[in-house]
Amino acid sequence: MQIFGVDIGGSGIKGAPVDLARGELAQERHKVLTPHPATPEGVAGCVAEVVGAFSWDGPVGVTFPGVVTGGVTRTAANVDPGWIGLDAAALLSARLDGRPVTVLNDADAAGVAEMTYGAGRGVAGTVLLLTLGTGIGSALFQDGRLVPNTELGHLELKGHDAETRASVKAKEDGDLSWERWAHRLQKYLAHVEMLFSPDLFILGGGVSRKPEKFLPLIKGIRAEIVPAQLQNDAGIVGAAMAARDGAPAAQ
């Protein structure tokens, strides 16, 4: 079974049909740059471009970098504030000629995919997936059940929003070495570990392709830390799962 998934990120919007029997992209993904400012209309146009590149005519799942409830986007940390309180599912469906659209938090999508097909498959206890990119997204699981919309990248760390210190964007903007960035990430992980005592951290986003650059530099964390197996495709896979199953809700 194939369903289309789209992952809206702070720097890029990418999508592809997903083979949900295998949890893999069925075709090479198509990516466009996220418009700046990332207004609802601008982003919706990009989503339509990505979907149109495949002449897709079925349901579509779409991730969003913020809190999403019932298809409505409630926060907008790294995109235009025009998203706040918007019925994003209705907007995107209209731009996709009435195709059914399911919208969910981007890290939740990545987490559900990793728990089903990737590094979290079969893992009991408390698992926390963190997506490291323009910001920091989070997906918290207890015995495989998702607690939606945790948004732990916005925890305060040294008087700052944590993602402004420990995201990949913070590394790039500050021209930080892997060592300096890993030190910041370690402090963030220690703070989250103190609050949630996870058994496993899964680190996702594009940086998960280079775990050897930073994972050996992180010390003093009790929980096991592993890179996401689906890497930067996890959001697309999770979006497609949501279009098939419905957006995850609080258990």
Q: Which tokens in the block code for residue 148?
A: 């939606």
If asked whether residues 163 and 209 sit together in one domain, one would say: yes
Q: Which tokens in the block code for residue 203?
A: 């680190």
Q: Which tokens in the block code for residue 222?
A: 């009790």
Over range 29-35, report the average pLDDT.
97
If asked whether residues 35 and 57 sit together in one domain, one would say: yes
If asked whether residues 62 and 144 sit together in one domain, one would say: no
Looking at the domain assignment, is residue 149 inside a domain?
yes
Over range 129-151, report the average pLDDT.
96
If asked whether residues 114 and 54 sit together in one domain, one would say: no
Q: Is residue 155 within 8 Å of residue 140, measured between CB atoms?
A: no
If asked whether residues 102 and 118 sit together in one domain, one would say: no
Which CATH number goes with the domain that contains 125? 3.30.420.40
pLDDT band at 141; cut points 50, 70, 90: very high
**pLDDT per residue over 68-111, tens digit each?**
999 999 999 889 999 999 999 999 999 999 999 999 999 999 99
Looking at the domain assignment, is residue 73 inside a domain?
yes
If asked whether residues 164 and 220 sit together in one domain, one would say: yes
- The pTM of the full predicted model, rounded to 2 decimals, is 0.95
Burial class (CB in 10 A: 0-12, 13-18, 19+), 39: middle
Looking at the domain assignment, is residue 251 inside a domain?
no
Question: Residue 251: is its pLDDT beyond 50?
Answer: no
Q: Is residue 102 within 8 Å of residue 89, measured between CB atoms?
A: yes
Looking at the domain assignment, is residue 250 inside a domain?
no
If asked whether residues 73 and 135 sit together in one domain, one would say: no
If asked whether residues 67 and 139 sit together in one domain, one would say: no
- Please tell me the total count of domains within the chain: 2
Q: Is residue 16 within 8 Å of residue 29, measured between CB atoms?
A: yes
Looking at the domain assignment, is residue 125 inside a domain?
yes
If asked whether residues 65 and 26 sit together in one domain, one would say: yes
If asked whether residues 86 and 126 sit together in one domain, one would say: no
Residue 202, classed as helix, strand or coil, is strand
Q: What's the domain range around 195?
A: 109-232
CA dist 112 and 129 (Å) reads 9
pLDDT band at 37; cut points 50, 70, 90: very high
